[in-house]
Amino acid sequence: MKKELLMATALVSTLGAASVAQAVTATMAGSLKIGAEFDSPENGVDTQNVIDLSNFNVSLTETTDGGTTISSSFEIVDEGAFDADDDNAIKLTFTDGSAVELLNAGNALGTHDISVPSGAGEMGVAGTSTNQAPTGLDFMAGSTALGVEWHSAADFMADGLKMSVSYSTDSGAAKGASARVENSWGLGATYVTSAGDTALTVGAGFAGGDVVNTGDNQDGSKEGFTVGVSAVTGDLTVAVGFADGDSFNTTGVANQNIQGSVTKVGLSYVTGDITLAVGGTSGEGQDSAFGTAPTTDDAKDTLSASATYAVASGVSAILGYLTEDHQDNGASDDTGGSSWYVGATMSF
């Protein structure tokens, strides 16, 4: 028995040492946001809500003997209900700086759309579910889980240029009554240059994809383009982005085509421990059932602003404001309104 215990101890110790030696490198990050939101809808009763959000992210990485880096990540989010993010690609980064993402790779258009500043905080205006005016620069970029995305190294073909190409294919699942993306492609590029003391970043992308369902009218689509530019001069950042294209909607209604466009403008300025930000979005869209020509317009115009104060390392206090004006199916819509937020974020 003594010999067996010694052998078992040695085996466990050996396996433990091996597992430590073979473990990938893991880094962790996360944040806790807590604050109060005050909503004033155009048509309705003012409400006050406590916003309590948290997330925990783990990044995994290891490098082979040949110099290829293998990485992925996962995230646990608590936004009122538990959610584990499992849409994570396996990324291979090669010694020349190029990379390939396998499975859940997304769309290359979204990789290169310009980040436009806007008010920080957890403000929100509910609106109505029938208003399909888009507000994001990648609203036309679709993908399936069976996807791949290739990223070039920096200075690809020209100094300051990076490019990405993506493709995703059908999972083979049976078609259903609700439309879904069957396959997609995307192309994106980012170009970085300078003009005097100003750093300029130009981003653009194109995307397309097939949408299918079991109905007779299977003419839904996701396709379009985005372009934007960001200028950074010292502590001041100014950016503008534009997107135009087609998407679709299946939530709460029959399958709908959406033809839309979005313009986003924003700026941020850092002065000492305070970051000031303001941003505006104008989205327009026309929605119609598959096989039917659109006839009326939806619109969402938003303006947001915030002041973020760095209280201590990893701790920020936020005061934010948002206002929205809506138009639904060609008529003025009183579901817009305004929202205030005051809170704090703790990050690690």
Residue-number span of the structural domain to which 56 is assigned: 26-347
Model confidence over 195-229: pLDDT tens digits?
A: 999 999 999 999 999 888 886 555 667 899 999 99
Mean pLDDT, to the nearest integer, of 324-335?
75
**Which of 48-52, 210-214, 267-271 shows the lowest mean pLDDT across its residues?**
210-214
- The mean predicted confidence, pLDDT, of the chain is 86
Amino acid at 3: K
The confidence score (pLDDT) of residue 71 equals 94
The confidence score (pLDDT) of residue 119 equals 94
* Residue 240 belongs to a domain: yes
Dihedrals phi, psi of 217, to nearest 5 degrees: -95, 95
| Number of domains, the chain | 1
Model confidence over 68-106: pLDDT tens digits?
A: 999 999 888 766 554 545 567 899 999 999 999 999 899
* Residue 19 belongs to a domain: no
In this model, does residue 266 exceed pLDDT 70? yes
The confidence score (pLDDT) of residue 286 equals 87
Q: Which residues of 141-171 are buried (b: 16+ CB within 10 A; e: fewer)?
A: bbbbebbbbebbeeebeeeebbbbbbbbeee
The confidence score (pLDDT) of residue 189 equals 97
Find, among 57, 58, 49, the residue nearest to 24 by Cα: 58
Mean pLDDT, to the nearest integer, of 226-254?
91
Q: Grade residue 245 by pLDDT with cuts at 50, 70 and 90.
A: very high
CATH number of 158's domain: 2.40.160.10
* Residue 6 belongs to a domain: no
Mean pLDDT, to the nearest integer, of 170-197?
89
Most confidently predicted of 8-12, 104-108, 190-194: 190-194
* CA separation for the pair 134, 226 (Å, rounded): 13
State what percent of residues in the chain have pLDDT above 90. Answer: 55
* Residue 12 belongs to a domain: no
In this model, does residue 64 exceed pLDDT 80? yes
* CA separation for the pair 143, 108 (Å, rounded): 10
The confidence score (pLDDT) of residue 345 equals 95
Find, among 158, 334, 331, 129, the residue nearest to 249 by Cα: 129
Find, among 84, 43, 92, 40, the residue nearest to 67 by Cα: 92
* CA separation for the pair 301, 119 (Å, rounded): 14
Dihedrals phi, psi of 174, to nearest 5 degrees: -65, 145
What is the full DSSP assignment across 264-301? Answer: EEEEEEEETTEEEEEEEEEEEEEEEETTS---S-EEEE
* Residue 8 belongs to a domain: no
State what percent of residues in the chain have pLDDT above 70. Answer: 86
The confidence score (pLDDT) of residue 86 equals 54
| Tokens found for residue 1 | 């028995």
Torsion, CA 304, CA 307, CA 312, CA 314, rounded to 10:
10
Burial class (CB in 10 A: 0-12, 13-18, 19+), 3: exposed
The confidence score (pLDDT) of residue 89 equals 84
* Residue 13 belongs to a domain: no
In this model, does residue 13 exceed pLDDT 50? no
Most confidently predicted of 12-16, 36-40, 71-75, 270-274: 270-274
Q: pTM for the whole thing? A: 0.83
* Residue 10 belongs to a domain: no
User: Residues 110, 116, 117, 119: is their CA dihedral positive or negative?
Assistant: negative
In this model, does residue 65 exceed pLDDT 50? yes
Mean pLDDT, to the nearest integer, of 227-245?
97
The confidence score (pLDDT) of residue 87 equals 61
* Residue 224 belongs to a domain: yes
In this model, does residue 16 exceed pLDDT 50? no
